[in-house]
Structure 1
Amino acid sequence: MRLADSILAVNDDLPIRTNLPVHSGKVRSVYWLTEQDSRRLIEEKGYDVAIDSPLAIMVISDRISAFDCIWQGENGLKGVPGKGAALNAVSNHWFQLFKDNGLADSHILDIPHPFVWIVQKAKPIMIEAIARGYITGSMWRAYEKGERDFCGIALPEGLKKDQKLPELLITPSTKGILKGLDGVPEADDVNITRANIEEHFEGFNFSSTDDIAQYEKLLKEGFNVISDALADVGQIFVDTKFEFGYVSDKAGNEKLIYMDEVGTPDSSRIWDESEFNNGNIVENSKEGFRQFLLNHFPDPDILLNKERMSERSALARNNALPVDAIIDISNTYLGIAEKITGRKIELSQNPKEEIVEILKTQYGLVD
């Protein structure tokens, strides 16, 4: 089998029955089921959702994005072998651990295949809920420039790069472009303060101001559950991004849940603990790939400067990365996923064919 054949790069062309356009993001594609199929599956599978809840099939891919671009490798590698299965396996593991620890539910109702989730429609909170245990990344870059107010939080003097912070900090940013909110820039992924959220809680899709504290509680609890579990396998949970939303259960009660993915190498920084204790940073997350890109191209400012987005897009489009770099990131994703789950991640020989077969025979979603 060619390595390229094991990669699911295009995931928006599956023959899943839907009467809406397929939404394709950087990594996942979403197929909204028909009202009839949603109702049928809720009844057949006994999902704990209202009978009229819209359901979707969410299919992950092996594509890799960094700096808001999709990257490719030589020899026709349009993604990273094993990446999709690794991401889903990690999220599934953490969501189950959240349930075991009495935290909130997630949007996932069923897992038909390692690449596939069946999810319920949620009303998303328009916040990238970021928690930081160490000062690194964008927070360090701002601190190094002299900024001491980060998302409305006063930072003390004397912090060092990659140092553990005195306490876990919540540093939210916008999810999407929000318009008409005084004091909130009309741009995606810009830092905001808790005061911004309180002032415009409805604009961020919160049902009440009380739910702001609830999302912060769930963020901290989720972070701590993952951090403790990673410590057991010699890893440090450095920082992460969660997403939240509202759904209604079978009885019609609204509840705040975890959405998207949690604690994955895509959404988090994870460091090797023994290396860190020896003064080295070994990334077990996509951050290692970002660092590779910054070192690989002669002008890293293209990747960091949002005003050079057209040049950055051309860089990603016109450059096939070395196979060794793709294999390195594959090993990182598979390695950390296997550490976390305690199980080997098996690579599918033809994931698209498997997905179609399962959704046809076991779920009746393919004609």
Structure 2
Amino acid sequence: MSSNTITDTNFNFPNQKSVYKGKVREVYALEDDVLVMIATDRLSAFDVVMPKGIPFKGQILNQIATKMMAATEDIVPNWLSATPDPNVAVGAACEPFMVEMVIRGYMSGHAAREYKAGQRMLCGVPMPEGMQENDKFPEPIITPATKAEQGDHDEDISKEDILKRGIVSVEDYGVLEKYTKALFQRGTEIAAERGLILVDTKYEFGKTKDGKIVLIDEIHTPDSSRYFYADGYEVRQDRGEAQKQLSKEFVRQWLIANNFQGLEGQNVPYMSDEYIESVSERYIELYENITGETFEKADISNIQERIENNVLEYLKS
């Protein structure tokens, strides 16, 4: 089944102007400020794209993101206008802000690694003394990252530096902060309904031609967010045990255990078909837990052809 994945696209849509290939998504810019965003089955960890695709991963990410955009559009406007195919989102072209708005409700992942290394400040935000990994912060903290050009690592940056370097204006940053907190609050509520805890996540924003700030890219997916199971969270914390989590972290942990963290001189470990299959199953489990719906597998006999036909059909209408 691993052969039935989409890891690269080369479409030529009507009125196409340019193509941008990110780590996971490929964005086709058409005339009239229309963007066609295709979620591939590529898997990226430690800012490195893995050699094999994960069956259904693109569909899962795209469908979670579009469902979450629909569930938050009453509080924050977004770029999305249609989803003509399980792997495709279509919307308005925006000028992206070159920062990712990372927000953390709990001390996990990167924050915990920094904390263990003795840091008590992250992106200019203080972290209280005496915390243990996966403890809840008194208040969610915003720890932005600069959006890297292709291939480079995203880097932590403070609000002060963002404003000082003129990456975002003071006025716009105020809006990004407000939207980030509102989205995280809504995401936390949605997660709670599913028996989950939204631990941390990142949001990306852009500006439309008429100057409106909108949410772009993905939202509340397992690639951009970390979730814990709420059931047993306190008990595990009290015992100092690892939390049961729903995110891409299981892939990172597997890579770390196989001596890979994206550092120079390290090679991506071999991923067997069985392992790829198990990652696909985990992503389906993530989808069903996050959305509360049964995952319906799209036809993957010829994904390229399916996407092309669906997009062309949409563009005609």
Give the TM-score normalised by the residue count of structure 1.
Answer: 0.79
Between stretches 14-23 and 142-151, larger displacement belongs to 14-23
Q: Quote how far apart the aligned CAs of 1:111 are.
A: 0.9
Alpha-carbon contact 1:272-1:284 (below 8 Å) kept:
yes
Q: Tell me what 2:162 maps to.
A: 197
Q: Secondary structure in 1 aligned to 2:55? A: coil
1:264-283 matches, within 5 Å, as: 264-279=221-236, 280-283=242-245
CA positional deviation for 1:304: 5.4
> Could you list the per-position Cα deviations for residues 54-85 of structure 1 after superposition, in whole angstroms to 9, with x for gaps in the alignment?
1121111111111122213xxxxx31111111
Comparing 275-284 with 81-90, greater Cα deviation is found at: 275-284
| Cα distance change of structure 1 residues 197 and 69 upon mapping to structure 2, 3 Å threshold | closer
Structure-2 residue corresponding to 1:92: 66
Paired residue for 2:248? 286
Q: CA deviation at 1:21?
A: 4.2
2:88 to 108, 116, 122: 116
1:52-71 to 2 correspondences below 5 Å: 54-71=33-50
Partner of 1:141: 113
Aligned residue number for residue 239 of structure 2: none
- How many pairs does the alignment contain? 308
Q: Aligned partners of 2:105 and 2:64: how far apart in 1?
A: 20
TM-score, normalised with respect to structure 2: 0.90
Cα deviation digits, residues 286-337 of structure 1 (max 9, x gap): 1111111111x2x34xx154xx1xx23xx23xx5302232222212211121
* 1:8 alignment partner in structure 2: 6
Correspondence for 1:351: 303
Which structure would you say has the larger Rg?
Answer: 1
Identity of aligned residues (%): 31
Partner letter of residue 56 of structure 1? L
Deviations 1:151-170 (A, max 9, x none): 11122211111111111000
Alpha-carbon distance in 2 for matches of 1:56, 1:338: 28
Distance in 2 of aligned mates of 1:361 and 1:164: 47
Matched AA of 1:189: D
Query: Is 1:31 matched up with 2:28?
Result: yes
Does the aligned pair in 1 maintain the 2:2–2:277 contact within 8 Å? no
Contact residue 82 and residue 345 of structure 1 kept, 8 A: no
Alpha-carbon contact 1:131-1:240 (below 8 Å) kept? yes
**Which amino acid in structure 1 is aligned with residue 299 of structure 2?**
S
In the alignment, structure 1 residue 334 sits paired with structure 2 residue 284: yes
What is the identity, as a one-letter code, of the residue corresponding to 1:284?
A: L
Tell me, in whole angstroms, the C-alpha distance in 2 between the residues paired with 1:363 and 1:282. Answer: 43
CA contact (8 A) 1:338 1:345 kept: no
Helix, strand or coil at the partner of 1:63: coil
SS at structure 2 position matched to 1:320: coil
1:322 matches 2:284 = no
Question: CA separation in 1, counterparts of 2:119 and 2:246?
Answer: 28
Structure 1 alignment gaps of length 5 or more: 39-53, 73-77, 178-186
Matched, 1:241 2:202: yes
Structure 2 letter corresponding to 1:108:
L
- Equivalents in 1 of 2:85, 2:270: separation in Å? 30
Counterparts in 2 of 1:8 and 1:155: CA distance versus 1, 3 Å: same
Question: Aligned partner of 2:43: which letter?
Answer: I
Secondary structure class of the residue paired with 1:334: helix
Q: Indicate if the aligned counterparts of 1:86 and 1:345 stay in contact, CA closer than 8 A.
A: no
Aligned to 1:47: none
Please state how far the C-alpha of 1:172 moved relative to its aligned partner.
0.7
1:128 aligns with 2:114: no
- The structural deviation recorded for 1:109 is 1.6
User: Structure 1 residue 277: deviation in Å?
Assistant: 3.5
Partners of 2:72 and 2:183 within 8 A in 1: yes
- Please tell me whether the aligned partners of residues 20 and 27 of structure 2 are also in contact (alpha carbons under 8 angstroms): yes
Aligned pair in 2 of structure 1 residues 347, 277: CA closer, same or farther (>3 Å)? farther
Runs of 4+ in structure 1 over 4 Å off? none
Does the 8 Å contact 1:85/1:345 carry over to 2? no
- What are the Cα deviations for residues 112-158 of structure 1, in whole angstroms up to 9, with x where unaligned? 11111112111111111100011122211221222212211122211
The CA distance in 2 between the partners of 1:61 and 1:165, in whole Å, is 34
